[in-house]
């Protein structure tokens, strides 16, 4: 039976460390790190995410601001909000909640956020630095996964790593971080032939496809570490991951559950990025 990788507990301990470092930052510089979250429209899932981010900021001692805009907001109006946050010295991190309402171009909006305040690590400059292995902000979900592997003492070095999914938010940066940790990485996607043959070789398998129970027992190598990034609803409305947990758990050596696995780590790594942005800000001024 696989060891369950407890994302909630790893997240809790990581936030304790961030809280301690934040207290030291406030004592030294006389202000708290600040995160501004901009949300346009009333998407229910986005509202929950934003509320959770605000609570997390409060928990570790950050200043936080939520700027709520109507779904009908124009691109010019949204860019004007970002322009003000760019020059606000209390704002170390700027996050625009995705998805945006129809008619707004996410690339234009993300590119307007200065790279040094881009705590989601979506700006082209930060994406390029990830490719080059330079120290910068890391996308929150892949960074959270790497933190989980580190805490669990799971070495990536020399391991065969397979990432299923090639999104810009998870799949591609996940592959880069595994590569930087000396893993041998394969990225699979909807056009991959013989998918089962490839996933069955993986020592570390990361599933990020957005399809409930897509990874089945016969796709997993005996003793593999299985990381489930998925967050789906099955036919009964129950929250499920991309992995058939009950079947795969018997075969894997370690596995993340859904919920309580990767999910809690994402906002925690956003806090890590915001504190890093604050440290950069005071060191550059």
In sequence order, which residues have a C-beta less than 8 Å from that of residue 161 and are 6 or more positions away? 175, 178, 183, 184, 185, 186, 202, 203, 204, 205, 206
Which residues carry out catalysis? 53, 97, 120
Q: Rounded distance, CA 184 to CA 175, Å?
A: 9
Give dist(CA 159, CA 57) in Å, integer: 36
Backbone φ/ψ region at 167: left (φ over 0), alpha (ψ -120 to 50), beta: beta
Q: Which two tokens stand for residue 217?
A: 């027992």
Residue in the block written with tokens 């805490």: 151
Q: Are the C-beta atoms of 109 and 85 separated by less than 8 Å?
A: no
Backbone angles phi, psi at 154, to 5 degrees: -95, 110
CA-based nearest residue to 79, from 111, 116, 101: 111
Extended beta strands in 123-175, E state: 160-164
Chain CA centroid to CA 224, Å = 22
CA–CA gap between residue 84 and residue 68 (Å, rounded)? 15
CB atoms within 10 A of CB 13: 11
User: Taking a C-beta distance cutoff of 8 angstroms, is the pair 214, 207 a contact?
Assistant: yes
Short-list 209, 163, 220, 159, CA closest to 186: 163
């Amino acid at each position: 039976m696989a060891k369950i990788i407890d994302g909630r507990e790893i997240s809790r301990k990581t936030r304790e460390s961030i809280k301690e470092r934040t207290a030291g930052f406030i004592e030294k510089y006389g202000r708290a790190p600040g995160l501004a979250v901009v949300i346009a429209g009333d998407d229910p899932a986005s509202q929950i995410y934003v509320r959770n981010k605000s609570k997390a900021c409060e928990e570790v001692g950050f200043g936080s601001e939520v700027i709520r805009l109507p779904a009908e907001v124009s691109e010019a109006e949204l860019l004007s909000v970002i322009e003000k946050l760019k020059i606000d010295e209390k704002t170390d991190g700027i996050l625009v909640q995705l998805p945006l309402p129809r008619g707004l171009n996410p690339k234009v909006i993300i590119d307007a956020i200065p790279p040094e305040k881009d705590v989601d690590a979506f700006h082209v400059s930060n994406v390029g630095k990830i490719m080059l292995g330079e120290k910068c902000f890391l996308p929150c979900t892949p960074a959270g996964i790497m933190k989980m592997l580190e805490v669990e003492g799971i070495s990536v070095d020399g391991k065969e790593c397979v990432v299923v999914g090639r999104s810009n938010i998870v799949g591609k940066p996940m592959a880069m971080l595994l590569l930087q940790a000396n893993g041998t990485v394969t990225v699979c996607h909807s056009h991959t032939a013989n998918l089962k043959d490839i996933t069955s070789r993986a020592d570390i398998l990361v599933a990020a496809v957005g399809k409930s129970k897509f990874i089945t027992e016969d796709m997993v190598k005996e003793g593999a570490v299985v990381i489930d990034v998925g967050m789906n609803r099955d036919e009964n409305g129950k929250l499920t991951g991309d992995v058939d947990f009950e079947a795969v758990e018997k075969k894997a050596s370690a596995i993340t559950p859904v919920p309580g696995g990767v999910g809690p780590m994402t906002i925690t790594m956003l806090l890590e990025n915001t504190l890093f942005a604050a440290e950069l800000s005071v060191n550059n001024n």
